[in-house]
Each structure stands twice: as C-alpha cells, then as structure tokens.
Structure 1
Amino acid sequence: MKLVVVSAGLSVPSSTRLLGDRLAAATVRRAGADADVEVDVEVVELRDLAVEIAHNFTNGFPGRELAAAIDAVTSADGLIVVTPVFSASYSGLFKSFFDVMSGGDKDVLAGKPVLIAATGGSGRHSLVLEHALRPLFAYLRAVVVPTGVYAASEDWGAEGLAERVERAAGELAGLMVGLATGPRGSGAGAGAVTGAGGRFEVIPFAQQLAALRP
C-alpha cells in the first residue's frame, strides 16, 4: 500500500515535516502490527513545488515535478496532510496545491482516507483543524479520520502529542486496510468479515476503531 505525506513546511528543518514523519511512521507501524500490511511512504514537500504551483495558475499546465506530486497524491491509498498555521488558517501554499490538483474537480480525492494535521507556535490555533482543514477535505469528498493532530511548540516531547499521533495513525491505518480489502481489493468490503456459510458479517466502524486504539 502507498501512503503519501503532503508537508507545507517552509523551513529546514521543519516542525511540520517532523510531525508528518511521526504520523507516517506510526501509521506504517500500526498497519503492520494490526493487519500485517506493508506500507510504502512518499513525502511531497510543497516548498520545492512553489514556483511550479505559481506557474500552473498562470499557464494552466503543471510542471514535471508538480505533475508527479499530483499523481502521487491522487494514486495514494492514504494521505497525511500537514500545514503550518498562517493567519489562523492553513498556509497559502498548502491551499494553492490542492486548488491546482483539484482543478475544479471536487471528486479528485473522493473516498480517499486523509489524516489532517497542523503545527503552530501556540495552542490557541488548534481549532484550525476543525474550521479550516476538515471542511476543505470534506469538500473534496475525502474520508477524514476522526482524530486530527495539532502540535504547538510546547507539545513536542509531551505525552499528549504522542497519544494523539498513535490514535490518529491507528484510525488512518484502519481505513486504508479496510478500503484496500473492500470493493477495490478482495471484494469483502470495508468492515466485513466472512462468517458461517460464506456470508459477510458487518462490523460497526466505531468497533473497528476501538480495536485499533492502544
């Protein structure tokens, strides 16, 4: 399976990229431990695509690296998207990338599992996940996991952040595995197991998530 991390961090090193890497590592670990599934990770650094994103707005055509990034995101089995907080919302670079990728097609991420995350200097901006990021990906018809992860400067090294990372990663891994073994995979359907007589028994999604939590 393929997991793509989209990071809108601007600095090097970047706390935004660091959070994306932690979430990816936890998702890979949970998918392997809970479902024995191997996950490959690819990272898309938006700062490296800033010029091509700007050119796409003016000429309507993606450059080679931007086109490769868009293909990686649209073909992924799951996404982790991480942005720094600018003016109490996602960064302009972050929004511009998804505007270019969708190109007016709001179904471009339809049904794709997405974990939303953000970094900021203060915990006061943690609601950016709910008032900005979640509505954006709901509009693109993605399946956003229940737990978003926000990391303020004081959160690094704190137990609370580690717990949120693990919980969100478990939810994303569960969705990725469930969809991969569903109609697009083996045909069993997400959240279904084979019961007596070859019939399928539907397991409620809340029960599946509860089983993934540490």
Structure 2
Amino acid sequence: MTTRTLAVVSSGLSNPSSTRMLADRLAEATTAILADRDVEVKVTTIELRDLAHAITNNLLTGFADEKLESAIEAVTNADGLVAVTPIFKTSYAGLFKSFVDIIDNTALTDLPVLIGATGGTPRHSLALDYAIRPLFNYMHSVVVPTSVYAASEDWGTGADTVKALPDRIDRAARELANLMEHSERSQNVRDPFALDETYDQLLGGFQGN
C-alpha cells in the first residue's frame, strides 16, 4: 500500500474550536478518499495555540525549540497540507501568519494545500481568496481551487447549511487527494533548517584572523 503524509494546521485560539473541527473534517475527508484508492495517510495535526510562545520566541531569536522544529518539519516534508485559520478583522489570525513567517520561503514550494477558515459571519469568506490564498501562492505552494469557509450558521441544524458544508468539504478534499496521490515530497525529505550556502559563502569568502 502506498503511504502519504498529511499535515493539518489549526490556528484556533479556543479549546474546543470550530477551526479545529473544520480542520479535522477536511483531514478525515481527504484520508477517506485516499483510503478508497489504497493510499494510507499518516496525519500530523498541529495546534498553533500550543506553540504560541515558541513561535514568538522564534520570531525574536531565530531559534525553534524541539516542538516547533517538529511542527515545521511535519509541514515542510508533507505530501499535503490542510491549513485552517479563524478570520479576525477580515484576515487570517496573527498566530497563523506568524507560523508561516518562520518557515523558509522555499520550503513549501509545490506543496499541495487546502485552505479553510472559520468566522462568525459569511461576509468574511472572501478573506480566503484575498488574504490566505495569496499567502500560499507567495510560498509557491499549489493551492487547490476549492477553499472551505465555515460560518457559525454552517454548524447549525438547518437542512440547507448541513448539506452545504459537507459538500464543500468533499469537493475540496477530492482536489487535495488528487494532488497528494502523486506527491513524492515525503520521500524526498529535506531539512527546513539547512543553509542553502556554507558559512564561507555567506561571509563572502571572508577569512578572519
């Protein structure tokens, strides 16, 4: 059986959170689709709220502790990524952006990404396309066409909302599964902290006394 790895990043601040709930559903749908194709998926879920202090320290010092380093490696070496953030003031959460900021600009190149977001009102759904999608495009990731936004009412009991969210989740998960099925990223593991140049090159060949 073929094996693929899926990293799931949730930046919800509460516990439990609708952000984590959406992330889990997207991951479960993707895993189920690939299982039907005889592809085993190893899922690593990362709760950024648990890494908030480490992320801040990394921004200040440039060093990642063991847990944060493991989280970065899980994302950069995955065959696919599910990234979900709450929407605050019409854009992604600061914690979500800070985590992406500490990842090397080339580490997510060609990584299949499914983006999702949660919020109190459907009016913020456009943030997926004007804020989150451009962020991963800048990182040279391959963002699937369908993004999933879940407002508070999508978790209700009405027939229309209950049907709409699962449909969107399934469509997006299929798009991610199609890319992950042919990915070889996890078979070509790279060190996200490795230097592209030697220290001599970085110093321009300077030789100290």
TM-score, length basis structure 1: 0.81
Asked if 1:26 corresponds to 2:29, the answer is yes
In structure 1, C-alpha distance between the alignment counterparts of 2:39 and 2:109, rounded to whole Å: 23
Q: Per-residue displacement from partner, 1:79-117 (whole Å, max 9, x unpaired)?
A: 000000011000000000010112xxx221000100000
Q: Give the drift of 1:16.
A: 0.3
Match of 2:16 among 10, 13, 17: 13
The structure showing larger relative contact order (alpha-carbon pairs under 8 Å, at least 6 residues apart) is 2
Asked if 1:134 corresponds to 2:133, the answer is yes
Residue 123 of structure 1 corresponds to 122
Residue 90 of structure 1 corresponds to 92
Q: Per-residue displacement from partner, 1:157-196 (whole Å, max 9, x unpaired)?
A: 5210000000000000000002349x97xxxxxxxxxxxx
Q: Give the drift of 1:132.
A: 0.5
In structure 1, C-alpha distance between the alignment counterparts of 2:10 and 2:20, rounded to whole Å: 6
* 2:140 aligned counterpart, secondary structure: coil
Q: Give the drift of 1:156.
A: 1.5
Q: Matches of residues 1-214 of structure 1 in structure 2 within 5 Å? A: 1-33=4-36, 35-102=37-104, 106-157=105-156, 158-180=162-184
In structure 2, C-alpha distance between the alignment counterparts of 1:57 and 1:169, rounded to whole Å: 32
In structure 2, C-alpha distance between the alignment counterparts of 1:98 and 1:179, rounded to whole Å: 21
In structure 2, C-alpha distance between the alignment counterparts of 1:58 and 1:167, rounded to whole Å: 40
Q: Give the drift of 1:5.
A: 0.3
Q: Per-residue displacement from partner, 1:34-67 (whole Å, max 9, x unpaired)?
A: x210101110000000001111111110111111
> Residue type of the partner of 2:38?
D
> Residue type of the partner of 1:124?
R
Residue 212 of structure 1 corresponds to none
* 2:178 aligned counterpart, secondary structure: helix
Moved over 4 A (4+): none
In structure 1, C-alpha distance between the alignment counterparts of 2:167 and 2:80, rounded to whole Å: 20
In structure 2, C-alpha distance between the alignment counterparts of 1:92 and 1:72, rounded to whole Å: 21
> Residue type of the partner of 1:166?
D
Q: Which runs of 5+ in 2 are unaligned?
A: 157-161, 189-209
* 1:39 aligned counterpart, secondary structure: strand
In structure 2, C-alpha distance between the alignment counterparts of 1:98 and 1:126, rounded to whole Å: 20
In structure 1, C-alpha distance between the alignment counterparts of 2:92 and 2:9, rounded to whole Å: 13
In structure 2, C-alpha distance between the alignment counterparts of 1:85 and 1:99, rounded to whole Å: 18
In structure 2, C-alpha distance between the alignment counterparts of 1:180 and 1:168, rounded to whole Å: 20
> Residue type of the partner of 1:3?
L
Count of aligned positions: 179
Q: Which runs of 5+ in 1 are unaligned?
A: 185-214
* 1:12 aligned counterpart, secondary structure: coil
In structure 2, C-alpha distance between the alignment counterparts of 1:47 and 1:26, rounded to whole Å: 24
